[in-house]
Amino acid sequence: MPDPVLILESIAAALLVSALVVAAGRWLDRRWAGVAQALAIALGACAGLFVLDVHPKWPPREDQDRFLLLVLPAVLLLDAAGNTPRASRAVKIVVRLVASMAVAPVLLYGSSYVADLAGPGSAEWPPAIRYSILAGLGLALFAGWSLLEWTTKRSASTLRVPFALAVAVGGASLAVMLSGYASGGMNGLPLGAALAGGSILAALWRGDDRDALPGAGVVILFGLLLVGYCFGELKPDAAAILFLAPMLAALPEVLPLARFRPFVRTILGLTLVALATAAAVGLTVHRFQTKEAAAGVKVDGPSVDDYSQFR
Amino acid sequence: MRALATTSGLLAAVLSLATTSSAQAADKYTVDPAHTATVFKVEHGGFSWTYGRFNDVSGSFTIDAQNAEASKFQIVAKVDSLDTGNAQRDGHLKSPDFFNAKQFPAITFVSTSVSKHANGLQVVGDLTLHGVTKPVTLVLVGGKTGEFPKGVQRTGYSTEISIKRSEFGMDKMIPAAGDEVVIQISFEGTKS
């Protein structure tokens, strides 16, 4: 099990590789900025996960295998393709909708939620309820993804949406780690760093909304929260706050806040995102401490390190 | 008339013996959960052993006293019934970090061959854990049969096996939680 130093190293590796790829991408035509960002997230994630010694298995048997080998590459491809000059708006919306609807079924495939693992009719979500839940999850992801696409275009900011998503992904990772699914949460940290690295570098080089890819970030966030809730013990209120947190980056685009200068709006949006994320993580930490105290395991406050070391 | 009655009585006795003998040849039992324990232990960072058990174990088996090779065993433990005496640790153990109870909710053992052993029976079978099936060999010690309580025929066995969880794809957090898992199974069955 990686120690905190290794986790920091994986975050640093993901940040650095992601930033370097975006830097290299600056030599390309600006029309391919989205492709460079997708590549930066992919390679940054690979670097961070490599440091953590994460090796997803093929064929994929568990949620993390499906997330890292199927969902993430597919979304990065779609996001990059949607950010190219030839992509029409209608096609982008249809692709976004289809991708949104597919994420939850792929992550939950073969699990006791959707499969009759203990005999006919034993699935936790019977068919009638199952399709409603999956459709609801897909629509929620689609709505969040669409709002962040709108915010990206409206704000014309390289940094605001990707960084908001990176903050929320980081918070979600900690929350999932403290909710009985340490490795699932930990995998999210380098993914969040990969989102942040490329966007920070693009912002430093005065990029624009073509450098921002909301799709990958929002799917990473959604995936983390879904597996944290379904396979770990993440509570639905904390998951909902964390999912909605990056949406707060859209708030400054609404009047009367829209009158502020772009820089101020970005600072305001990111502050709101950070506050909501901190609230959800704080709630999860409190629950973790309460549960551990109830179990009578430890008198002092617990730490993530305790948990990761399987005390 | 007396001779006929004697003959009938003898015939009935012979038939009864034959029936009893046949029943003993292949007796079917259902696992008695009240007298069954599946306990495991795993090293905690090399300091000590953490013990746990599965509270929901079911199954059935057939014992053929005349022909051990015809005996069969099938045992299922529900992962969700895992209990280490600490709710927080139980939740963690049920997550994909370890058992992944939502993806692989049951641990099963199905025998593929049975033979006599000096201490009881040697049972080779397929153990499915964490969605991976591998052959394992159990030496079942015991086999005492009897009526307990009155009217209930029962038998019981116990065994111990050591596996490497990484071989079943459960490879996270090693060595904080040891790779080797020692499992003790003690079960009784009541004749169906």
- Find chain A residues with C-beta within 8 A of B97's C-beta: 180-184
Pick from B88, B98, B104, B132 the residue to mutate for testing the A interface (most A CBs within 10 Å).
B88
- DSSP per-residue letters across B38-104: EEEEEEETTTEEEEEEES-EEEEEEE-SS-GGG-EEEEEEEGGGEE-S-HHHHHHHHSTTTT-TTTS
- Find chain A residues with C-beta within 8 A of B106's C-beta: 117-118
Q: Is the pLDDT of residue A23 over 70?
A: yes
Question: How many angstroms away from the CA of A96 is the closest CA of chain B?
Answer: 28
The pair of structure tokens assigned to B67 is 């022909």
Model confidence at A89, pLDDT cuts 50, 70, 90, reads confident
Q: Which residue of A has its CA nearest to B92?
A: A180
Q: What is the pTM of this model?
A: 0.88
- Per-residue pLDDT reduced to its tens digit, B143-170: 999 999 999 999 999 999 999 999 999 9
Question: How many angstroms away from the CA of B87 is the closest CA of chain A?
Answer: 7
The pair of structure tokens assigned to A236 is 């639905």
Chain centroid, CA B50 distance in Å: 22
Q: Is the pLDDT of residue A290 over 90?
A: no
- Per-residue pLDDT reduced to its tens digit, A203-230: 887 777 777 788 999 999 999 999 999 9
Question: How many angstroms away from the CA of A64 is the closest CA of chain B?
Answer: 9
Sign of CA dihedral B57, B59, B63, B68: negative
pLDDT for the residue numbered A2? 57
Sites in chain B below the pLDDT cut of 50: 1-5, 7, 10-23
Q: Considering only CA atoms, give the Rg of chain B.
A: 21
ipTM value, please give it. Answer: 0.87
- Per-residue pLDDT reduced to its tens digit, A229-267: 999 999 999 999 999 999 999 999 987 888 889 889 999
Q: Do B103 and A61 touch (CB under 8 A)?
A: yes
The answer to whether the beta carbons of residues B38 and B185 sit under 8 Å apart is yes
Q: Do B173 and A183 touch (CB under 8 A)?
A: yes
- Find chain B residues with C-beta within 8 A of A181's C-beta: 92, 95-97
